[in-house]
Amino acid sequence: MIATPVTREMLLNVVKVMPAAPQILAQLGELLLDLNSGLNEITELLRRDAGLTTRIIRVANSSFYNQATPAASLVEALARVGFKEVYRLTGFAAVAQISDQRLALYGVSGAQLRENSLLTALMMETLAEPAGVDPRLAYTAGLLRSTGKIALDRMLRGEAASAGLDQASPPLAEREVQVAGLHNGMAAAIILGEWHFPEAMIAAIRDHYLIDETATPLAQLLNLAAGETERAGHGLPGETGYWELSSAKLAGAGISEGELQAATARARASFEALRHVVG
């Protein structure tokens, strides 16, 4: 019996009080696809959230971007990192905003969630080229893959003691379905659809735990990236059983094991340069 059946309407009500950063990121993605968009339109969008603006400036002034003179404003920050880097920079700032609270339901600290999201996003971005997928789409899938956990935690955290979602078995998605009637990937799909993210990215997050012959290449890539993130020491409780490395997953994602390991090394180097800034 499902302890607390979670409906679409309940999830969308929770969305209203979640940080605005992911929604702004979705709008930014659409804006960047418009060849007529310029820095003024982008700046106006990002300024809708003062907290996000502050984080963007902070990340832009970090050693990761190697700026000799710190930017004093959002316009300066965006101009210095370059137009092509705006989405990535905003994503770095967004992950800090959406993962600033402990997920009591899952036994995950804000720092754990933040580091898992950041490294998975960097893994996906680095793997995008050998896999032949859009780097921005891949990056966003890694960044937002735990959105459903954030929403379910806000709804059900009062049941944390009895839900047992921070335990090792049975597998996390199975326990979530027992407690809420859906797993966090399904919850994320509902939320990200409401925010108008691309369907390919939504499907990848929805399906990346339960890989089978119907899984898309992007879902399989996300599974591999999340697995490498865990093997790097930044996994999340209850997920270990989903990340077995196999030749079938590599083939489904369109990469070799060598490409996976090379991407892991590059992503981990970027992660070490960013983790404290994003934190």
d(CA 250, CA 273): 28
pLDDT at 164: 59
pLDDT digits (tens, 9 = 90+) for 134-164: 999 999 999 999 999 999 998 887 665 455 5
Q: What is the DSSP string of 151-200?
A: HHHHHHGGGHHHH-TTSSSS-HHHHHHHHHSS-HHHHHHHHHHHTT--HH
pLDDT at 166: 61
Average pLDDT over residues 30-35: 87
d(CA 76, CA 82): 10
Token digits for 62? Answer: 């970090």
Q: Which domains does the chain have, with CATH numbers?
A: 1-18+102-279 (1.10.3210.10), 20-99 (no CATH)
Question: Full-prediction pTM beyond 0.75?
Answer: yes
Name residue 108's beta-bridge partners: 103
Contacts of 89 (CB under 8 A, 6+ apart): 56, 59, 60, 65, 77, 78, 81
Would you say 136 and 87 are in contact if contact means Cβ atoms under 8 Å apart? Answer: yes
pLDDT at 63: 82
Residue (of 213, 212, 224, 214) closest to 253 by Cα position: 224
Of 97-106, 123-132, 243-252, the one with minimum mean pLDDT is 97-106
d(CA 65, CA 4): 45
Q: What is the DSSP string of 122-137?
A: HHHHHHHHHHTS-HHH
Q: Is 130 exposed, middle or buried (0-12, 13-18, 19+ CB in 10 A)?
A: middle
